[in-house]
């Protein structure tokens, strides 16, 4: 009788634990949806605000060259209205998610576009049939378009357009830009998704913008009305067709986009399945041992389950907090840097005196330092979780080194630092992630710049083939690294304790990130220095 009572009690508490874990899983799923919606809306708001702020500048309201619009140039020539073109170029630098910046006349005719090369490639002069044109004309307000395939770029973009009025309130043109859809990938990248999660974005007409499932092996296995619900402003999480499906609207100016996130239930509730197995095992154990012993086994099992759950929750909260904080710190830096650049450009927003320019430049330098620190922290976290993505492609090593030389040589020569490429490789290719390899070189080169002499500094980079690997190295003629300090050099936040290095700015994450990237790409990295006359960082990668 006692054993039966214990079994019933254990079953009751087991079902309570399972129900609590299911609710906790759904809550975590909801948090991820909320974070992704917020990330995306922040990106869109930044783009919209930048367009709306600049439309009120006098140089945007100027259309004195409209008589020079022609079919030949698909607008005005690039030598006309230089102030507006300069502002457009500055916006592209400030917010690189824009593909191009445009100005249209009230009838839809092109006035100008930056980059100018894209203006020459457009296939027609008038765009009054676009939904963004009709949206602006109907609402006389900023409008975010449907996703459309740019005839100039041959890929999908989203247009943000805003009306420009003169002092009397008359419409004189339409100002705006078209966004790359890459910014949606960046919003997803800031979020650490669970196993087999799928994210789908839809524009206001229900057209698919982005789908993280690129296999195209299966159609959507959830009802279409979830898309309509999201576009109408509703949100929710449901279990359907062996999936957990979350849907939510995304505010895109005056319209809503839709977001769908789905995951197989067996992946989402994997922890619950394990718990159910543990409880079944616990019940069987209770049936074959004494009631008193069974009670303590149950108590111990319950305690262990709770501890595992608390550890999992702590890890989940840590990941979500890291992603949210990194994004929330990084997003405001983009407009800060952009406006600082615009403030230092003459005739854009107004002229500053020398002291004001120096203050703005100091702000820019410190914001960039903060931006780099945030990126380093996020990369280090992704490496720790094995979540960093690598895209393998084949490329020429000599061309890769030439790009590095073109980026650094002139700048460093102006600082009195000699920059040398010393490589015998001519026609060898390597298959790896080019962007991540460039990140390693940038970290090592920037690290070397801090410590070489400013009058006769020298930095050398090179590559050579050794059997089935490529050996790269970065050498400097700085003060060197003491031998006893080298074993700790690739640890996070470690900095060699010398006066020179204490004065050098850095997060202490660069070398640990280099090590994580190289090892993730199948290579090794090490350092050699006698502690007196320079340092060489070597790393090798398979061909």
**At 320, is the pLDDT very low, low, confident or very high (cuts 50, 70, 90)?**
low
Q: Does some domain include residue 412?
A: yes
Q: What pLDDT is recorded for position 438?
A: 94
Task: Name which of 448, 443, 417 is nearest 529 in CA terms.
Answer: 448
379 and 399 share a domain? no
Contacts 24+ apart (CB under 8 A), 291-300: 291/2, 291/3, 291/5, 291/6, 294/3, 294/6, 294/7, 294/10, 295/6, 298/6, 298/9, 298/10, 298/13
DSSP 194: P
Comparing 96-110, 139-153, 468-482, 517-531, the range with the smallest average pLDDT is: 139-153
**At 503, is the pLDDT very low, low, confident or very high (cuts 50, 70, 90)?**
very low
CATH label of the domain that carries residue 162: 3.30.450.20
Q: Which residues of 457-475 are buried (b: 16+ CB within 10 A; e: fewer)?
A: bbbbbbbbeeeebbebbbb
Q: What pLDDT is recorded for position 502?
A: 41
Q: Does some domain include residue 24?
A: no
67 and 96 share a domain? yes
pLDDT at residue 241 greater than cutoff 90: no
Among 159, 182, 205, the domain boundary falls at: 182
**At 504, is the pLDDT very low, low, confident or very high (cuts 50, 70, 90)?**
very low
Q: What pLDDT is recorded for position 3?
A: 52
What is the number of domains present in the chain? Answer: 3
**Residues β-bridged to residue 539:** 472, 525
Among 182, 200, 234, the domain boundary falls at: 182
The better pLDDT of the pair 369, 249 is held by 249
372 and 420 share a domain? no
404 and 378 share a domain? no
Q: Does some domain include residue 288?
A: no
- The rounded distance, in Å, linking the Cα atoms of 317 and 319 is 5
63 and 175 share a domain? yes
pLDDT at residue 123 greater than cutoff 70: yes
Q: Does some domain include residue 191?
A: no
Q: Does some domain include residue 36?
A: no
Q: Does some domain include residue 205?
A: no
375 CB burial (10 A radius; 0-12, 13-18, 19+): middle
pLDDT at residue 524 greater than cutoff 90: yes
pTM check: above 0.75: no
- For 457-489, write each residue's pLDDT tens digit: 999 999 999 888 999 999 999 888 888 888 888
pLDDT at residue 139 greater than cutoff 60: yes
The better pLDDT of the pair 278, 538 is held by 538
Residues listed for the chain: 543
Task: Name which of 504, 361, 519 is nearest 440 in CA terms.
Answer: 519
Q: Does some domain include residue 82?
A: yes
342 and 363 share a domain? yes
397 and 538 share a domain? yes
437 and 468 share a domain? yes
524 and 418 share a domain? yes
| Dihedral angle over CA of 109, 112, 113, 118, nearest 10 | 80
Q: Does some domain include residue 198?
A: no
67 and 148 share a domain? yes
367 and 467 share a domain? no
366 and 495 share a domain? no
Among 138, 159, 182, the domain boundary falls at: 182
Boundaries of domain holding 343: 333-384
Q: What pLDDT is recorded for position 353?
A: 81
CATH label of the domain that carries residue 403: 3.30.565.10
- For 393-431, write each residue's pLDDT tens digit: 999 999 999 999 999 988 898 888 999 998 888 888 999
Average pLDDT over residues 206-215: 81
């Amino acid at each position: 009788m006692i054993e039966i009572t214990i079994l019933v009690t254990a079953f009751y508490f087991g079902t309570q634990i399972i129900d609590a874990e299911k609710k906790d899983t759904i809550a975590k799923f909801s948090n991820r949806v909320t974070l992704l919606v917020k990330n995306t809306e922040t990106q869109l708001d930044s783009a919209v605000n930048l367009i709306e702020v600049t439309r009120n500048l006098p140089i945007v309201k100027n259309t004195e060259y409209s008589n020079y619009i022609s079919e030949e140039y698909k607008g005005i020539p690039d030598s006309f209205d230089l102030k507006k073109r300069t502002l457009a170029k500055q916006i592209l630098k400030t917010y690189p998610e824009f593909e191009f910046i445009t100005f249209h006349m009230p009838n839809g005719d092109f006035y100008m576009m930056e980059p100018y090369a894209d203006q020459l490639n457009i296939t027609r002069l008038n765009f009054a049939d676009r939904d963004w044109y009709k949206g602006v004309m109907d609402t006389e307000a900023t409008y975010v378009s449907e996703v459309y395939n740019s005839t100039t770029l041959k890929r999908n973009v989203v247009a943000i357009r805003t009306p420009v009025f003169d002092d009397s309130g008359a419409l004189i043109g339409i100002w705006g830009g078209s966004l790359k859809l890459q910014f949606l990938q960046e919003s997803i990248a800031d979020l650490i998704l669970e196993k087999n999660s799928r994210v789908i974005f839809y524009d206001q007409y229900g057209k698919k913008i982005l789908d993280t499932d690129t296999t195209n092996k299966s159609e959507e296995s959830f009802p279409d009305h979830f898309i309509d619900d999201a576009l109408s402003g509703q949100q929710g999480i449901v279990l359907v067709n062996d999936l957990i499906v979350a849907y939510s609207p995304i505010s895109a100016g005056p319209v809503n986009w839709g977001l769908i996130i789905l995951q197989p239930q067996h992946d989402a509730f994997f922890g619950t399945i394990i718990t159910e197995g543990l409880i079944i095992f616990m019940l069987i154990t209770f049936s074959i041992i004494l009631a008193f012993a069974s009670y303590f086994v149950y108590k111990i099992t319950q305690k262990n389950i709770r501890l595992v759950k608390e550890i999992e929750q702590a890890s989940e909260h840590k990941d979500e907090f890291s992603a949210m904080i990194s994004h929330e710190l990084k997003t405001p830096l983009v407009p800060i840097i952009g406006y600082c650049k615009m403030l230092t450009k003459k005739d854009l927003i107004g002229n500053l005196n020398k002291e004001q320019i120096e203050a703005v430049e100091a702000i820019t330098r410190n914001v960039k330092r903060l931006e780099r620190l945030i990126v380093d922290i996020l990369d280090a976290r992704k490496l720790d979780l094995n979540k960093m993505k690598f895209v393998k492609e084949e490329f020429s090593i000599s061309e890769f080194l030439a790009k590095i030389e073109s980026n650094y040589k002139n700048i460093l020569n102006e600082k009195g630092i000699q920059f040398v490429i010393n490589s015998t490789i001519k026609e060898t290719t390597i298959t790896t992630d080019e962007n991540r390899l460039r990140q390693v070189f940038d970290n090592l080169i920037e690290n070397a710049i801090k410590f070489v002499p400013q009058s006769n500094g020298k930095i050398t980079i090179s590559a050579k083939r050794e059997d089935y690997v490529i050996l790269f190295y970065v050498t400097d003629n700085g003060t060197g690294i003491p031998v006893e300090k080298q074993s700790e050099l690739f640890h996070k936040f470690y900095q060699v304790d010398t006066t020179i290095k204490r004065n050098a700015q850095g997060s202490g994450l660069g070398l640990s990130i280099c090590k994580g990237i190289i090892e993730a790409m199948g290579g090794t990295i090490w350092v050699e220095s006698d502690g007196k006359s320079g340092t060489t960082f070597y790393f090798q990668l398979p061909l």
